[in-house]
Structure 1
Amino acid sequence: MTNYAEAKQRLRGSIAPIVTTFDVNNQVDLNVMNNLIEWQIESGSHGISVTGTTGEPSSLTLQERELIMENAIKTVNKRVPVMPGTGSTNHEEALHLTKRAQEMGADAALVIVPYYNRPNQQALYNHFKIIADSVDIPIVLYNIPGRTAVNLEVSTLARLVEDCPNIIGVKESNKDFEHVNRVLHSCGRDFNLFSGIELLCYPMLAIGGAGHVAATANVAPKEVAELYDSWAAGNVERAIELHYYLMTLNDVLFKDTNPVPLKAALGMMGKIHPAVRLPLGPVSDALRQELKDTLIQYGILK
């Protein structure tokens, strides 16, 4: 039986949401993904997540998602926690992937609010409770109303936390900062609140958050991890400095749909082949130039 109190303490900091890398034939390239994972760990990231929003899960087959999850867990080999995204708009798929994550040895599962079908709050409760009850690994729910068109209300989340001891946290990609304050107030100050919005990474730490799952960590893993480390060490001035330092980079990486600009940037850095799968497409020439200029400004490119 998992010790959820220990899991809450271990699953903290910068959990890097890795892009899914494709080769020139648009097939999953695990070797390149492994290089990214090694770079993240060397750079100080506190955990790894795959097949979340940044990993283009809706463009992957079920078999590809399982392959990527298993590969990440084996590559990391317990050096840091691995929290794959196992959610889906399809309940049975989400249930299957979450069970498989446990079988593979994942440290937690990140389960998104179902997108497109817009369930009501009772349906959300039923969906998440069945998934949580099916496993005993920690579950972190993922609320991103800008993509799902449904907000996981605080009252629904609080019910789930009360009824499901393995729901230990939530990734909030919610610009309503009153909402995220109420999450900790209602779910308990020991509940693991993660920021999924880059400009809210520091503010969420300041109200008692556990860390962040920030796409920018793909490009600047050291600085994104240091933001958390500085806060945890009580170096508030450094954390605030990094918060503002990263702002321009954060902004340019979200001028098109994530992970499109991110993959273009990683391609310029020589880390990956920058392919995305349709229906996503490449960045415009203007954004490509802006990305290049920004990476030069940050010293990431010469």
Structure 2
Amino acid sequence: MADLSDAREKLRGSIAPVITPFREDGSIDEPTLQDLIDWHIESGSHAVSVTGTTGEPSSLTLQERERVMEVAVKAAAGRVPVVPGTGSTNHQETLHLTKLAQEMGADAALVIVPYYNKPSQHALYKHFKTVADSVDIPIIIYNIPGRTAVNLKVKTLASLNEDCPNIIGVKESNKDFEHVNRVLLNCGRDFLLYSGIELLCYPMLAIGGAGHISATANVVPDKVAELYNAWNRGDVKRAQELHYELMPLNDVLFKDTNPAPLKAALGMMGKIHPKLRLPMDLPSQELQEEIRGVLKHYTERPDEGTNGSLHPLLSEK
């Protein structure tokens, strides 16, 4: 079993959920993924995650998910922890990817509540316990009822925490703030609680959260990491300032389904080729203009591509 006390210390802060960049033909752009991970590390992200919701796992084949995980672990090269998303709606596939994450040297696995099939709480317990028992690395459960159509109840999570030593935390993309308070009450204050809701990143730190896994970190990784750093050093005023400073960006990035607005924004910043795979697509021209306007308050040259001109996939002004 991995040193869980060490993991509980290392896996704090801003865990950036990195997008999966595609080339114009839709293939995975591995050099750009490596560049993005370098940028996150240089910008102060405390860890990186791939193939979570923001990484479009449902648009990737199983082999592509494996490859993205491998590229991420190699690119990080031990500089920060890597926490790949290994969950799916298929139990055997989840087991396979989680075991593979351990073999690749990942520091933990982020395992989502299975989506679409709406399992019972008893079935969720059995699913997560089987996954946790199959590996030694830490497991962070990912509860996102808006996407999965089922909420992992606090009682179920507490039972898993009690019975599975390597289930050390949960990413709560849950707007029910009473629920997330009860997570720490029932699972213990050393249980790692991460916010997956951008506007709750600061409030979750205030109740004892371990950090956040915020999609907005793809655009301003330094500011999202500094929100945690400010709180951690006791600078409440600075943390509050960043909370409100980030709100307009958080809002615009979720006016369409994640990661479509993110990829549009990163295309405007010249970081990626702004490509998604169907059935996902770029936001409307109207929303792209709104994103462009908001970005100007956070980044330099938000409307220029890597060759000094607007990316052809993005709408013209």
Global fold match (TM > 0.5) = yes
Would you say the 8 A contact 2:158–2:186 is kept in 1? yes
Q: Name the SS of the counterpart of 2:275 in structure 1.
A: coil
Q: Which amino acid aligns with 1:222?
A: D
In 1, distance between residues paired with 2:74 and 2:164? 28
Distance in 1 of aligned mates of 2:298 and 2:227: 16
1:12: which partner in 2? 12
Task: State the 1:122 CA deviation.
Answer: 0.2
**Partners of 2:184 and 2:298 in 1: how far apart?**
34
Aligned to 1:24: 24
Q: Secondary structure at 1:297's aligned position in 2?
A: coil
CA distance in 2, matches of 1:2, 1:123: 26
One-letter amino acid of the counterpart of residue 237, structure 1: K
Distance in 1, matches of 2:186 and 2:14, equals: 24
Q: In the aligned structure 1, how far is the partner of 2:234 from the partner of 2:158?
A: 30
Q: How does 1:61-80 map to 2 (within 5 A)?
A: 61-80=61-80
Residue equivalent to 2:173: 173
The TM-score, its normalising length taken from structure 1, stands at 0.99
1:89-109 CA distance string (max 9 Å, x none): 000000100000000000000
Alignment of 1:100-111 (within 5 A): 100-111=100-111
Match of 2:305 in 1: none
What CA distance in whole angstroms lies between the structure 1 residues aligned with 2:296 and 2:209? 32
> Partner of 1:110: helix, strand, or coil?
strand
* Alignment-mate amino acid for residue 291 of structure 1: I
Partner Cα separation in structure 1 for residue 77 and residue 32 of structure 2: 17
2:311 aligns with none
Residue matched to 2:136: 136
For the pair 1:127 / 2:150, whether they are aligned, the reply is no
The match for 1:113 is 113
Name 1:147's counterpart in structure 2: 147
After TM superposition, the structure 1 = structure 2 runs for residues 73-88 of structure 1, keeping only pairs within 5 Å, are: 73-88=73-88
Give the Cα separation in 2 of the matches to 1:237 and 1:258. 30
- After TM superposition, give the deviation of residue 297 of structure 1 in Å: 2.3
Could you tell me how far apart the structure 2 residues matched to 1:273 and 1:300 are?
18
User: Deviation per CA, 1:53-104, whole angstroms, max 9, x where unpaired?
Assistant: 0000011000000000011001101100000000000000001000000000
TM-score (norm 2): 0.95
The CA distance in 1 between the partners of 2:62 and 2:236, in whole Å, is: 43
Query: Which residue is equivalent to 2:277?
Result: 277
Question: 1:188-232: per-residue Cα shift (whole Å, max 9, x none)?
Answer: 000000000000000000000000000000000000000000000
In the TM superposition, residue 282 of structure 1 has moved relative to its aligned partner by: 1.4
Identity of aligned residues (%): 70
Equivalent position of 1:99 in the other structure: 99
- SS of aligned partner of 2:296: helix
**Alignment check: 8 A CA contact 2:217 2:224 kept:** yes
Distance 1:33 1:191 in 2: 31
Measure, in 2, the Cα distance between the counterparts of 1:285 and 1:88: 32
1:257 corresponding residue in structure 2: 257
Note if contact 1:292-1:301 (Cα within 8 Å) is conserved in structure 2. no
Q: CA deviation at 1:298?
A: 2.3
How many angstroms apart in 1 are the aligned matches of 2:219 and 2:71?
Answer: 21
Contact persistence 1:82–1:107 (CA under 8 A): yes
Determine the C-alpha separation between the residues in 1 that align with 2:171 and 2:243: 19
Gaps of 5+ in 2: 303-317
Q: What corresponds to 1:241 in structure 2?
A: 241
In structure 1, distance between residues paired with 2:36 and 2:288? 21
Measure the CA separation in 2 of the matches of 1:278 and 1:89: 19
Q: Which amino acid aligns with 2:34?
A: N
CA contact (8 A) 1:194 1:211 kept: yes
SS of equivalent residue, structure 1 residue 245: helix
Supply the distance in 2 between the matched residues of 1:119 and 1:96 (Cα, whole angstroms). 20
> What displacement does 1:242 show?
0.1
Q: Secondary structure at the match of 2:9?
A: helix
Q: In the TM superposition, what is the alpha-carbon distance from 1:3 to its structure 2 partner?
A: 1.2
